[in-house]
Structure 1
Amino acid sequence: MTYAIEQRLMSGLPNYALTAAKYVIAHESGNPNNCGSNALENEIAFMNRNKANAFTSHWVGGGGKIVQVAPVNRVQYGCGPKGNPYCYAQVELARTNDTEQFKKDYAAYIWLLRELAKGAGCNGIKSHRWITDNLKGTTHRDPFSYLQSMGISEEQFKLDIKNGLDKPKEKGDDTMQFTNETTKAAVCDHIKQAVDKKLIDKMWLDKFDNGTMTNGDYEGLKLIIAQRIK
C-alpha cells in the first residue's frame, strides 16, 4: 500500500544544509491532552506557531493521513543540536485514543519512515530516544511509551521498520532467540520436564529442537504448564 503525502510547507523556515543525511527520526507528539478527532490539525497548527523553536518535516495522524510541513534534506529543529544536522527527515505521530484509528496511523507511520529512508539512501531509521542516548543534546525518549500504550512493543516496532507491514514477516522473525547457551538449556529443560510429566505434548519439545518455536508459543506454554501443575 502507498499513501498520498499532502504538502503544507510552513513559511519562514530556516534553510540550512545538513552535515550529512544519515538518519530518519521517529517521533510522537508526547501530548496526552491532544488525542481527539482534530489531534493532527491541532499539532500542525501548534508547530506552525512555534516553528522558530521546534519543527519536523512530517506529521502522521487522523486515520493514516500524512502531511509534510517542512522540506526534507534540510536541517529541522526536532531532535536537538547534535542530531538535527544529520537528519534527512523527522516524522511526528499525532496521538489518538481510538485503537482502530491508531492502526491506520501506525501503518502510515511505518510506510513513511521506510519511504523516507529510501529517499535518503540510508538505513538509519532512529528514534528520538536513540538520539538522546547516543548523540545527546536532547532528553526526549519517544516514541516507545506511546506505541506500547497502543499495543506495539519495541521489538514489534523494530520488526515493522525492518519488514514493512505489507510484506509477510521473514521466516524466523519471531522464533525464539537466545543470547547464551545457559538460557537456551534452561528453556529446553523446562519444556522437557513438562513433556515428561505429560503436562504438554511432545510436539512442543520437537518444535523447540527444530528451531520453529516462537516467543508466543513459549509464553502460552508457560501459562498452560503453570495451570496444570496446580
Structure 2
Amino acid sequence: MSLLELDAVDAHYGESHILRDVSMSVEEGEICALLGRNGAGKTTTLRSIAGTTPPEVRDGTVTFAGEEITGMAAEDISVRGISLVPEERRVFPDETVGENLHIAETVRALPNRIGRSLGFDGEAMSDAEVFEFFPRLEERRDQKAGTLSGGEQQMLAIGRALKQHTDLLMLDEPYEGLAPQIIDAVEAAIDRIHEDGTTVLLVEQNAIAAMNLADRCYVLDQGEIVFEGSAEELSDDDRTRERYLGV
C-alpha cells in the first residue's frame, strides 16, 4: 500500500473546476515530483491533500497511511504526519530563527484528541537535529527571520515542518527565487531529509532540478495527469518535457 493515494480527485475553487480526476500515489521513502506549468493545478493538489482552504474536494478520495483523510480539517491531517511548506514560506518575520522553531514545536505539542488517540507524546525534533540539516540556521539562531535571505527563510520553513513529526513533507516551489548556489544547498538538505527516512512530495517549476532529485514524477496539465513514470523516463521523453514543461 502506498503512503499517500489520490483516487479520482476533483477539486474546485468556487465554481472553477481546477483538478480533474487526479489519481496518483506516493510510496513510502521516495521523493516524488509533481511538475507542470503555472496554473496546471500543482499547488491545488498539495492543498487538497493538506486540507487547507481553498480548494473544495467534491469528488474522489485522499488516503494517507491507509486512512481516508478526504475533507478532514488541516490540523487533523497535520497531526497524522503530513507537513506542507507553502510557496510563500510564511515565517514569522519579527521573531528570531530560534523563536520560529519554538513556535512550531509548541503548536505541535498542543493537546489534541486525535494526537492522543494516535499515541503522540508531545515530543518533537530538537533544534540540534534541525541544525544538522541546516547548519546555516544555527549561525542565524538569534537573527530575526525577516532579515534572512530567501534561501535561509526556505531552510527555516522546512525546519519548522520537520519540528512537527513529519512522515510526508510536501514542498511547494522550494527553489523559487533562489540563487543557484542556494538551490544546491536546499537540494542537498532535502536529499539528506529523504535519506533520514522522510517521504517527500515536491512541487517545482524548475523541472530539471526536480528530476535530478526525484525517484518518480507526475506531470499535470490543466488539472489532469498527463505523465507518470520514473525521473529517468521523463528525462528521456522529449515530447512530454517540451510540450508540458517547456524544457
The TM-score with structure 2 as length reference comes to 0.29
Structure with more of its chain in strand, by fraction: 2
The TM-score with structure 1 as length reference comes to 0.31
- Greater RCO (Cα-Cα under 8 Å, separation 6 or more): 2
Q: Work out which of the two has the higher radius of gyration on C-alpha atoms and give 1 or 2.
A: 1
